[in-house]
Amino acid sequence: MTTPLRTVVHLMRHGEVHNPDGVLYGRLPEFHLSELGRQMAHLTAAHLADHDITLVVASPLERAQETAEPVARAHGLPILTDSRLIEAGNHFEGKGVAGGQNVFKQISMFPKLINPFSPSWGEPYVKIAERMTAAVHDARERAAGHEAVLVSHQLPVWTMRNVMEGRRLWHDPRRRECTLASLTTLTFVGEELESVTYSEPAASLLPQAKGPAGA
C-alpha cells in the first residue's frame, strides 16, 4: 500500500506597499512594495530558505510578484502567475479609504455597506473561496511531496483559512490574522488537510498600526 505524500502549501501575504495617499489600491496597477515591504519579503524568504520548496506562484499584481521574487530566487525557481490569487474586487478601489478610514464620511458609499455577509462592497466571499481553493489544490498537486509558496493578499488568504478551518466566510475585517509577509501554512497528507498553522517571519518589521484593507 502506497503511503500518501505529505505536501505543504504556504499562503504568503505580500509585504508593505508604498501608498502615501492611503488609497484602497485593490487591483489597481503600479502599487509596488515600499522599502520596508522589500525587507519583509526578504525576511520571510530567509525563513523559508531551508524548506523543500519546488513551486512559487504569485498573484499578477506587482506587490505580490515583488514579494515572491526573493523566495523564488533562493530556490532557483521561476515565479508562476495565477490570476486566482489576485486581490478581492472592491467597489471602493481607488478611493482614500485604506484601512476603512473615511468610508462612512461619504453618503454615496452607504448603499455598498448594507450587507456585510456577501459583502455588498465587493467580490462575494464564496467566489473568493472557490478560486483560492482551486489554486491551492492545483499547487498541492504540482508540488506533491514537497512545498509550494503562493503569494496572495490578505482577504483571499484569510478566506482560504476560514474554508480550511470550517468557519463561516463573513467576518470582522479587523480580526483577520494575516499580517504583512505572514505565512498561513496548509499541510496535506494525500488530498486530506492535516493541519493549518500561522507564522509571522517579518513580525519585527511590522508597523505599529496596520489596517485590514488594501491588501
Is 188 contained in some domain?
A: yes
pLDDT at residue number 173: 84
Q: In whole angstroms, what separates CA 3 from the centre of its chain?
A: 31
Is 211 contained in some domain?
A: no
Q: Per residue in 95-118, pLDDT tens?
A: 765 555 544 445 455 455 555 656
CB 152 within 8 A of CB 12: yes
Q: Per residue in 158-170, pLDDT tens?
A: 999 999 999 999 8
Is 42 contained in some domain?
A: yes
- Residue 42's domain comprises 6-205
Specify the CATH number for the domain of residue 164: 3.40.50.1240
Give the separation between CA 43 and CA 108, rounded to whole angstroms. 41
Phi, psi of 13 (to 5 degrees): -85, 145
pLDDT at residue number 50: 97
pLDDT at residue number 211: 45
pLDDT at residue number 91: 73
Is 85 contained in some domain?
A: yes
Is 215 contained in some domain?
A: no
47 burial via Cβ count (<10 Å: 0-12, 13-18, 19+): middle
CA nearest neighbour of 152 among 33, 36, 65: 65
Is 213 contained in some domain?
A: no
The H or E element containing residue 184 is: strand 183-189
Is 92 contained in some domain?
A: yes
Q: Total domain count for the chain?
A: 1
Is 145 contained in some domain?
A: yes
pLDDT at residue number 104: 45
pLDDT below 50 — which residues of the chain?
102-105, 107, 110, 209-213
What predicted TM-score, i.e. pTM, was given to this entire model?
Answer: 0.88
